[in-house]
């Protein structure tokens, strides 16, 4: 338990600088009497005199003990001021925000969010973590993007429905929707069976459709590249695609019946106060996906 009082130290400093109790009182907005009592209280708490009072119209002078207390006290005051400063900077958006993400978000949503966040808060320290996992957790993260709802003590918003489309070489299918059954025993390129891909393949199975998956890669562009190369076709969420409509080789089709879209959530720990940065990042993310 500290026995010192920051205001006493501030008063000590003011008196040391000004030379008299009265001028220090003016500077601090107190009366002379208050300063006298404060210095008295400080002297009681340190157990010794900190100023010699010569009496009459002469300024007071620090005792050796006073020098010791003042020298250290200024350090204390500086740290206290630094604390208040840090609080202000924190409220102005300085600080760290850790965001968990995955490929589609990294490529489509986050660049805009990060850019706007840095525009607003140049001192922001944004860290991104991209882990492909089936066991998503907000532990150690301020925000987490994930393709599916999370369980546990999290708050989350669905920010996007990401519909699946068939990607194939031009001519492979006629224009218009591709029937799901057309995938049966078709050569396919696909992501690894994690995240929403698990659900997709379960839908295939329940429909009695058994594609031949000839290649799996976690790299979404790799999937498209291999479709382009003719390894097979793919069923991918729109967001993962980087296929222009006038692509020479590839085209996209709807699937019939359509798969339930992949749901993309933004989650954070429930009932926890968020930093200004995290709060703003959520808003920016919602705003960004609304423009897709």
In the complex, which residues of this chain contact DNA (CB under 7 A)? 5, 7, 15, 20-23, 29-34, 36-41, 53-60
CB of 108 to DNA, least distance (A): 36
CB 288 within 8 A of CB 160: no
- Helices within 190-275 (DSSP H only): 196-206, 220-228
Q: Would you say 56 or 140 has its CB closer to DNA?
A: 56
The entry of its own copies, DNA, none that residue 166 binds, CB within 5 to 8 Å by partner kind: none
Which DSSP helix (H) or strand (E) runs through 124?
Answer: strand 124-130
Give the 3-state secondary structure of residue 193.
coil
Q: Would you say 60 or 180 has its CB closer to DNA?
A: 60
- Among 240, 222, 239, smallest CA distance to 231 is for 222
Interface segment toward its own copies; rule CB under 8 A; list 82-90, 107-115, 132-140, 236-244: 82-90
Torsion of CA 86, 87, 92, 98, to 10 degrees: 80
Rounded Cα–Cα distance for residues 274 and 260 (Å) = 32
- Among 65, 33, 35, smallest CA distance to 51 is for 65
Q: Would you say 77 or 209 has its CB closer to its own copies?
A: 77
Q: Would you say 25 or 109 has its CB closer to DNA?
A: 25
Q: Would you say 273 or 291 has its CB closer to its own copies?
A: 273
Assess 65 for contact with its own copies (CB under 8 A).
yes
CB of 153 to DNA, least distance (A): 8
Q: What is the per-residue binding string for its own copies in 173-212, x denoting contact by CB under 8 A?
A: ----------------------------------------
Size of the site for its own copies (CB under 8 A): 45
Distance of CA 51 to CAs 16, 55, 122, Å?
9, 12, 46
Helix axes of 32-46 and 6-18: crossing angle, nearest 10 degrees: 120
Tell me, what DSSP letter sits at residue 60? P
Assess 13 for contact with its own copies (CB under 8 A).
no
CB 121 within 8 A of CB 150: no
| CB within 8 Å of 154: residues ≥ 6 apart | 138, 267, 268, 269, 270
| Per-residue tokens: 126 | 């944004």
Give the 3-state secondary structure of residue 269.
strand
The entry of its own copies, DNA, none that residue 205 binds, CB within 5 to 8 Å by partner kind: none
Assess 92 for contact with its own copies (CB under 8 A).
no
Q: Report the half-sphere exposure of 56 (CA within 13 A, side-chain side).
A: 2
CB of 48 to its own copies, least distance (A): 7
Assess 57 for contact with its own copies (CB under 8 A).
no
Q: Would you say 30 or 102 has its CB closer to DNA?
A: 30
Interface segment toward its own copies; rule CB under 8 A; list 192-200, 203-211, 218-226, 271-279: 271-279
Assess 87 for contact with its own copies (CB under 8 A).
yes
Interface with its own copies (CB under 8 A)? 1-7, 10, 28-29, 46-49, 52, 54, 61, 63-65, 68-69, 72-73, 75-77, 79-84, 86-87, 90-91, 95, 142, 271-275, 278
């Amino acid at each position: 338990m500290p026995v010192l009082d920051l205001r006493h130290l501030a008063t000590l400093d003011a008196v040391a600088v000004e030379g008299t109790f009265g001028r220090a009182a003016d500077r601090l907005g107190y009366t002379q009497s208050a300063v006298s009592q404060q210095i008295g209280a400080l002297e009681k708490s340190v157990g010794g005199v900190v100023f010699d009072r010569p009496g009459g119209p002469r300024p007071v002078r620090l005792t050796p003990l006073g020098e010791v207390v003042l020298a250290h006290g200024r350090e204390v005051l500086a740290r206290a001021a630094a604390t208040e400063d840090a609080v202000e900077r924190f409220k102005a958006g300085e600080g760290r925000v850790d965001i968990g993400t995955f490929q589609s978000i990294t490529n489509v949503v986050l660049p805009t969010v990060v850019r706007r966040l840095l525009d607003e808060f140049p001192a922001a320290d944004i860290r991104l973590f991209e882990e492909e996992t089936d066991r998503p957790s907000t532990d150690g993260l301020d925000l987490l993007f994930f393709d599916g709802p999370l369980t546990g003590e999290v708050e989350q918003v669905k920010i996007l429905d990401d519909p699946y489309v068939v990607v194939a070489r031009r001519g492979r299918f006629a224009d218009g929707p591709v029937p799901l059954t057309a995938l049966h025993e078709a050569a396919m390129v696909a992501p690894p069976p994690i995240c929403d891909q698990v659900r997709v393949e379960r839908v295939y199975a329940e429909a009695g459709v058994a594609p031949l998956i000839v290649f799996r890669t976690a790299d979404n562009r790799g999937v498209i590249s291999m479709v382009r190369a003719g390894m097979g076709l793919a069923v991918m969420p729109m967001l993962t695609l980087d296929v222009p409509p006038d692509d020479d080789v590839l085209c996209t089709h709807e699937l019939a019946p359509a798969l339930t879209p992949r749901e993309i959530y933004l989650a954070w720990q429930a009932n926890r106060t968020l930093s200004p940065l995290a709060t703003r990042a959520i808003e920016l993310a919602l705003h960004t996906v609304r423009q897709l």
